Amino acid sequence: MTRPRVVVAGLGDSGVLTAIKLARHADVVGVSAKPGLLSGQELGMRISRPQDWARYNWIPFHRFRGLDHVRTVHGTLTGLDRAARKVFVETAAGGTVAEPYDALVISTGVSNGFWRQPHLQSADEITTELGAAHQRLGSARSVIVIGGGAAAVSSAANLAKAWPDKRVDLYFPSERALVHHHPRVWQQISRQLTGLGVGLHAGHRAVLPDGFACDEITDAPVQWSTGQPAASADAVLWAIGRVSPNTQWLPPELLDEHGFVRVTPELRVPGAPGVFAVGDVAATDPLRSSARNRADGLLAHNIRAHFGGKPLRAYRPASRRWGSVLGPQGDGLEVFTPKGQAFRFPGWSIDRVLMPWIVWRGFYRGVRSDSSRRT
């Protein structure tokens, strides 16, 4: 019996996990603009300790044992033919190929700042980009971080830890940051930020320069629409959560008014038989939480059920953000529950238990050492 063919469009965190779970049940093809998993998570660690960040978050595809039977295509998605059930890819080698599918998973994510961009990159270009942002911020005597989400808060904390002599200020528009987390989370994190010497400035909403996409580190004074005097620093990091879905290759009728992919509770795309969506690109709920709540497992189940003519399960989104805020630190990893309760993985356990056993083996079904090559 011929195995069904699944194309996973986008191999970020959600796409890789979905492809791994489907590889035992279908012929899977993954399409990615990067030659490996380049996570958009843990911005603070990425800019302050890029080598440590890369060990956990920049992993070439050949290292994933679960992708051994997945064919990966390095290229940029350019179109979808729903009638013919094909996606079109402009490959890194040049030229355009058509990839047919029985089921299509749209997991192309979003663009956000300089750290989450959909353009085609090589491994060397990614490594250079990681170092450039680190050097730019490291050479600044003062840094302003703008934004109230986890990326901004983590950036401010990690910069202050990495360079204690640097002046770091965090500006956010509401009375508190982390408004999508339980209030207890900000109570605890704000105390840590103050202890690190980070200046906290509530009620500041930045004026965005005309045409500015928030995708670069700037040094011009920041103006505030909320009436405060302008603020200046050697470097300004914009982490305001101004995301843009990577859906330019899709027909507009599959998208909502903001450009995200419309989905049913079962993660199907209405009007596109055999097409599903997951992750930040999928309009599941206001927080688009399927990227962080293990919806990849439910989606893999639903695609198998789709092929078998069985009932599909509904995704139930979380009402609050949860998880780590500051990322791994020398003394451990602090993780928050949706109710704002904190628990900590001790520092020794991150490289001995958490990453090798829980994440790499449990979630990703095995990750080879950095020096390995697929045979």
Write the CB contacts of 337 (distance below 8 Å, at least 6 apart in sequence): 182, 322, 343
Mean pLDDT of 169-186: 95
pLDDT in tens, 243-255: 899 999 999 999 9
CATH classification number, 133-238, choose in 3.10.180.10, 3.40.50.150, 3.50.50.60, 1.20.140.160: 3.50.50.60
Domain boundaries, the chain: 5-122+243-319, 133-238
Predicted local distance difference test score (pLDDT) of residue 288: 85
pLDDT(320) > 70: yes
What is the per-residue pLDDT for 319?
80
Per-residue b/e over 340-349, b at no fewer than 16 CB within 10 Å? beeeebeeee
The residue type at 194: T
pTM equals 0.93
Give CA–CA dist 93/347, Å, rounded: 42
CA dihedral 342, 362, 295, 301 (to 10 degrees): -150
Among the listed residues 209, 143, 195, 197, the one whose alpha carbon sits nearest the alpha carbon of residue 171: 143
Collapsed DSSP state (helix, strand, coil) of residue 16: helix
Q: Which fold has domain 5-122+243-319?
A: FAD/NAD(P)-binding domain (3.50.50)
Residue 322 has pLDDT above 90, yes or no: no
Fold matches, 5-122+243-319 and 133-238: yes
pLDDT digits (tens, 9 = 90+) for 9-53: 999 999 999 999 999 999 999 999 999 999 989 999 999 999 999
- The mean pLDDT value for 197-215 works out to 91
Q: What is the pLDDT of residue 289?
A: 85
CA distance 92 to 81: 21
